[in-house]
Amino acid sequence: MARELFGTDGVRGTANQHPMTAEMALRIGAAVGRYFRRDTSVAHRVVIGKDTRLSGYMFENALTAGLTSTGMNVLLLGPVPTPAVGLLTTSMRADLGIMISASHNPAEDNGIKFFGPDGFKLSDEAEAEIEALIAEGVSPVDAGAIGRARRIDDGLFRYIERVKGTFPYGQRLDGIKVVIDCANGAAYKAAPEVLWELGAEVIPVGVSPDGVNINANCGSTKPQRAAEAVVAHGADVGICLDGDADRVLILDAQGQVADGDQIMALLAARWAEEDRLRHGTLVATVMSNLGLERFMAARGLALHRTGVGDRYVVAAMREHGFNLGGEQSGHIVMTDHATTGDGLMAGLQVLAEMGRTGKPASELVQQFEAVPQLLKNVRYGVGQTPLETSGVQNAIAASEAQLAGQGRLLIRKSGTEPLIRVMAECENSQTLEEAVDRVVDAVEAAV
């Protein structure tokens, strides 16, 4: 069955435009409620979290209406990080978890992410079945079987305690000054609280959400503000989360940025030393730098690559029994502790290494020399298929031939935005730029 509504991470788009309308959210709620409420003889429940976007109120109400119309009982968590929904779905014995968020996207966008009863995101097959139900339409239950909805006050507290529990027992953050940038998003309460309770001196950035400033000039996609705060306050380290706190970037004391590849390299090497890295393997996507692959190989460790999207990273981890994976963008997945990427939890692991080793962040999060990598995006319109044109295909073939034996080229559609992403790696900067620009120019001509 085809998946047209669902991208790499649920349903996403501009609020009040298809598919992110209140009407569609109601239909999605009814369909997913019917999908998970297969046994009508017992009570079923769903937990719903959201980030700080203004449109979150609208989608929360619409999803609740659709879900209760099929007999699901709804527990509303309010603003919480995405990983908190995965955690609370299992700990509260819910049949389904829903997160209303467009992650790192601007405030005018929103999205709907789904977690199964095991706390993991749904498979492609499950999403295809739900799409079929949306298309067919779902009959509501009888009036006496309509579900109930209520707010849960302690969901954020449960998450905070769970995250703190992943920090090494007996270790503290006393004496460490941390800038934490919450992107005016879902972790604006939880992240500073966790760091302070563990003993850190906390300098918060991006903790004043107003519904329209999520990810605006802050957070993991725009770390400049946090970098300035690190330098200005003489902080030891900076932690930049995105709008729903499932991504993280680390800043050293000079404000230099370390991406997810460097974080994964640090954790993989440490876990391998402690014999904690299952099967000696790290899972990453095709976007991760070739330098990370070389770093792992030099230590006798393996890098297992997947398609882009943390769902596919987690799927590979579960299939093969791996316990560490992530994306260059900053999704860090540690299945010993969580069911999805958790930026705050990953940030704590870096802080734990700083405390254990006494080394500065600048040394810890620069584990390998990255191969020069260039990524450019081209926006395309509705209904356009630029990758299928002969001009683009010829440009791709020419760039692949130019990079043969020197690097690699990766072309893909974004799963969350109408973008063609053109990425290449090569030691020779001129060759790198020529290979990428050739394809970008062809795509721009096609659109």
Nearest-angstrom CA–CA distance, 214 and 183: 6
Residues 6+ apart with CB under 8 A from 115: 85, 86, 89, 96, 97, 98, 99, 121, 122, 339, 340
Give, in order, the Cα–Cα distances in Å from 129 to each of 34, 141, 254, 311.
11, 20, 49, 17
Spatial contact of 72 and 96, defined as CB atoms under 8 Å apart = yes
Phi-psi region of 411 (alpha: psi -120 to 50; beta: other; left: phi over 0): beta
Nearest to 287 by CA among 263, 265, 267, 260: 260
Annotated active-site residue 139? The verdict is no
Token digits of residue 426: 């090569």
3-state SS, the chain, equals: CCCCCCECCEEEEECCECCECHHHHHHHHHHHHHHHCCCCCCCCEEEEEECCCCCHHHHHHHHHHHHHHCCCEEEEEEECCHHHHHHHHHHCCCCEEEEECCCCCCCCEEEEEEECCCCCECCHHHHHHHHHHHHHCCCCCCHHHCCCEEECCCHHHHHHHHHHCCCCCCCCCCCCEEEEECCCCCCCCHHHHHHHHCCCEEEEECCCCCCCCCCCCCCCCCCHHHHHHHHHHCCCEEEEECCCCCCEEEECCCCCEECHHHHHHHHHHHHHHCCCCHHHEEEEECCCCHHHHHHHHHCCCEEEEECCCHHHHHHHHHHHCCCEEECCCCCEEECCCCCCCCHHHHHHHHHHHHHHHCCCHHHHCCCCCCCCEEEEEEECCCCCCHHHCHHHHHHHHHHHHHHCCCEEEEEEECCCCCEEEEEEEECCHHHHHHHHHHHHHHHHHHC
Token digits of residue 441: 């120019």
In single-letter form, the type of residue at position 215 comes to: N
Please identify which residue in the block is written with the tokens 């467009």. Answer: 102
Catalytic residue among 103, 220, 288, 399: 103
Which residues carry out catalysis? Answer: 103
